């Protein structure tokens, strides 16, 4: 048990350090690398909770796809952090006030929290205890929640169409590789053998 709690404190401490570094780095590329570090620690925390599927999803999706995408965006956009931070001091008082108010509200909410009578009973999705987490999730996701699964598919489709609509341009005159043309080309169409007499050149 002591190992588990030690591991918990280690990973959560590292996650907090990583998160702080994400905001305080001057170089946005470093920020993204710290973000990846934070994701790994969060994944480790999920493993400690016994949610290995969520942990793996976090690594595969967030580290493998989202963070790498961020990295590309950051590198391509060449963001100047100093310019972005210009208004920081100006907006600090307003932002800080709102943050403090929200924090106080959260404290009030958390302090007086009660659960509804049967909340703990309702929260549990019944599955047989024999199966692994992943299998249990799959059984619920593709049966009870098939509707949400399909609807989310539509959401992703719209996102894809939207990205294409807003960015793809059909420019005329762009040369593209046409493999069939290349293969069908024969030497007769393109190569001409010319006898050149010495000293005269081609006219």
Partner 1 sequence: MSGLDTLAPAYPEIFMSISALVLLMLGVFRSKDSTVLLTWLTVAVMAGAAFLAVTGIDEARTFHNLFVTNAFTIFAKVMMLVGAGLTLLLISDWAVGEKVARFELPIIVLFAVIGMMLMISANDLISLYVGLELQSLSLYVLAAFHRDNIRATEAGVKYFVLGALASGLLLYGSSLVYGYAGTTTFESIATAIENGPNTTGIIVGIVFVISGLAFKVSAVPFHMWTPDVYEGAPTPITAFFSIAPKIAGLCLFMRVLAGPFEPLIEQWQQVIILISILSMIWGSVAAIAQKNVKRLMAYSSIGHVGYALIGLVVGNEEGARGLLFYLLIYLVMNVGTFAVILSMRVKGKYLEDISDLSGLAKTRPGMAMALAILMFSMAGIPPMAGFLGKFYIFVAAVNAGFYSLAIVGLLASVIGAYYYLRLIKIMYFDAPGAAFDAPSLTTGIIMAGSSVLMIVLFVVPAPLVNGAQAAARALFLG
Binding interface with partner 1 (CB under 8 A): 105, 108-110, 112-123, 143-148, 150-152, 154-155, 157-159, 161-162, 164-166
Q: HEC states along the chain? A: CHHHHHHHHHHHHHHHHHHHHHHHCCCHHHHHHHHHHHHHHHHHHHHHHCCHHHHHHHHHHHHHHHHHHHHHHHHHHCCCHHHHHHHHHHHHHHHHHHHHHHHHHHHHHHHCCCCCCCHHHHHCCCCCCCCCHHHHHHHHHCCCCHHHHHHHHHHHHHHHHHHHHHHCCCCCCCCCCCHHHHHHCCHHHHCCCCCCCCCCCCC
CB of 169 to partner 1, least distance (A): 9
CB of 78 to partner 1, least distance (A): 19
CB of 143 to partner 1, least distance (A): 8
CB of 148 to partner 1, least distance (A): 6
CB of 173 to partner 1, least distance (A): 18
């Amino acid at each position: 048990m002591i190992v588990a709690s030690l591991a918990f404190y280690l990973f959560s401490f590292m996650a907090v350090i990583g998160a702080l570094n994400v905001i305080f780095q001057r170089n946005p590329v470093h920020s993204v690398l710290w973000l990846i570090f934070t994701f790994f620690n969060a994944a480790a925390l999920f493993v400690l909770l016994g949610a290995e599927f969520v942990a793996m999803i976090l690594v595969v999706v967030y580290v493998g796809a989202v963070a790498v995408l961020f990295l590309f965006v950051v590198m391509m956009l060449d963001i100047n952090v100093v310019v972005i931070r210009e208004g920081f001091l100006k907006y600090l008082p307003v932002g800080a006030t709102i943050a403090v108010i929200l924090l106080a509200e959260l404290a009030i909410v958390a302090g007086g929290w009660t659960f509804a009578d049967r909340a703990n009973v309702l929260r549990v999705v019944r599955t047989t205890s024999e199966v692994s987490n992943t299998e249990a999730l799959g059984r619920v996701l593709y049966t009870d929640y098939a509707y949400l699964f399909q609807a989310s598919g539509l959401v992703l489709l719209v996102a894809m169409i939207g990205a294409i609509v807003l960015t793809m341009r059909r420019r005329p005159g762009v040369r593209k590789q046409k493999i069939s043309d290349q293969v069908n080309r024969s030497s007769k169409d393109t190569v001409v053998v010319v006898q050149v007499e010495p000293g005269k050149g081609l006219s």
